[in-house]
Amino acid sequence: MVVQNELRTAMEASREDLIEVLAQYQAVPVVDDGQEVSSLLGGRTNTEFKLEEPGGVETTDRQTRQEVLEHLGVEDEQDLEPVQEEIKNHQAWGEKV
């Protein structure tokens, strides 16, 4: 289970440290199909993301999750795959699972 304090410390250090912490816990950003948030203008919906760990668990609060996604440069679904691959291919993958 990823620890929010570790995420915050990693974000303060560097993007590479953040990728490493996420890899250690196998926490990968994915689209949250259960959440669609309507924008205030025109009824469009914005895509929501979550950090999913093994077993579909999410342990981060909304604010931390948003900060992680911003730090990783994830703004829409097209940004997900390269970030997911970077996390999954990191040498630390699964060290703390």
62-93 pLDDT, tens digit per residue, is: 899 999 999 999 998 999 999 999 999 999 99
Q: How far apart, in Å, are the Cα atoms of 93 and each of 34, 63, 74, 77, 84?
A: 27, 24, 20, 22, 12
Q: Which residue has the tokens 């390269």?
A: 82
Q: Which residue has the tokens 């990968």?
A: 28
Q: What is the pTM assigned to this prediction? A: 0.85
Contact 65, 49 (CB under 8 A): yes
| pLDDT tens-place string over residues 6-50 | 999 999 999 999 999 999 999 999 998 765 555 555 544 567 888
Residues 6+ apart with CB under 8 A from 4: 59, 60, 61, 64
Q: What is the pLDDT of residue 42?
A: 52
Q: What is the pLDDT of residue 3?
A: 85
Q: What is the pLDDT of residue 44?
A: 45
DSSP SS3 for 75: coil
